[in-house]
Amino acid sequence: MYIVTGGAGFIGSAFVWKLNQMGITDILVVDNLEETEKWKNLVNLTFDDYIHKSDFIEALEVGSVRNVDAIVHMGACSSTTELDADYLMENNLHYTQYLAQYCLDHKCRFIYASSAATYGDGSQGFDDDHDGFARLRPLNMYGYSKQLFDLWALKRGMLDKMVGIKFFNVYGPNEYHKDDMKSVVCKAYHQIRETGALKLFKSYREEYGHGEQKRDFVYIKDCLDIMAWFLEHPEVNGVFNLGTGQARTWNDLAKSVFAAMNMEPNIQYIDMPESLREKYQYFTQANMQKLRDAGCDLHFTSLEDAIKDYIQNYLDTENPYLS
């Protein structure tokens, strides 16, 4: 059995789709659906059962869940604006600690989501070398909760027995329920359809022009290929970056969205809220050498091709979900 926590969420449901593509359907989805639209991510997928995240730990403890091959732990509060630190400690840190220990005790594969948010303002670089983790200073509580688990596992010598993935700016199908946390690609598509224009934040640093701030944007389908590779290579362990290794500007992204929609670019630069200016990241770029050195044959879809696939094969269709 393969267990995917956060299995109705963005990356989690996409990975269930990937498992289905690999011929795997003996899957337990763990999540918290509540009154969200996340359930729509599951409609096109094949899996064995669903269990609420609050009941999952007990199910493991009493042994009602057995014969686990792997737990792919994508479940977490991923909001970078969440202010309830106690909730993040319990949901993102302690929950992950339990699952990690369970997998070590039961000798099953454990793959979990860390985050590029652990890198903070980027002043310490974007290298996934374990020795540098203690120097990182996340800018928000979400990133800090992710860093705390990385440090906890590192201190206990566990990182050579599991895989952590520091996702950079992921975009693609099945993210529609994320409200304000949706990717800019998704937001841009809808904004352009409604207004014919796209608004981007102005730059407040001389070295960056408006819209020239850079991010490492990575397509969900490329992430799934790497995650599947980790599943198939249990000898590879540690914390790894997952970006493309190539930073692109917001202007590049905007032009790619307009091109995929067969429209001429119409970009408007607006003031950034005061509350964001001190926390805003002007540059992120994953160092992908560690994954290459581990033997993963990397191939990432270009920003232009990925956005074209996302818009023309999903956002512009009646059924925008992975199926």
Residues annotated as catalytic (active site), given as ranges = 142, 178
Widest pairwise Cα distance in the chain = 59
| CA atoms of 96 and 215, how far apart (whole Å) | 27
> What HEC string does the chain produce?
CEEEECCCCHHHHHHHHHHHHCCCCCEEEEECCCCCCHHHHHCCCCCCEEEEHHHHHHHHHHCCCCCCCEEEECCCCCCCCCCCHHHHHHHHHHHHHHHHHHHHHHCCEEEEECCHHHHCCCCCCCCCCHHHHHHCCCCCHHHHHHHHHHHHHHHCCCHHHCEEEEECEEECCCCHHHHHHCCHHHHHHHHHHHHCCEEEECCCCCCCCCCCCEECEEEHHHHHHHHHHHHHCCCCCEEEEECCCCCEEHHHHHHHHHHHCCCCCCEEEECCCHHHHCCCCCECCCCCHHHHHCCCCCCCCCHHHHHHHHHHHHHCCCCCCCC
Backbone phi and psi for residue 291, each to the nearest 5 degrees, phi listed first: -70, -40
Handedness of CA 112, 113, 118, 124 (dihedral sign): positive
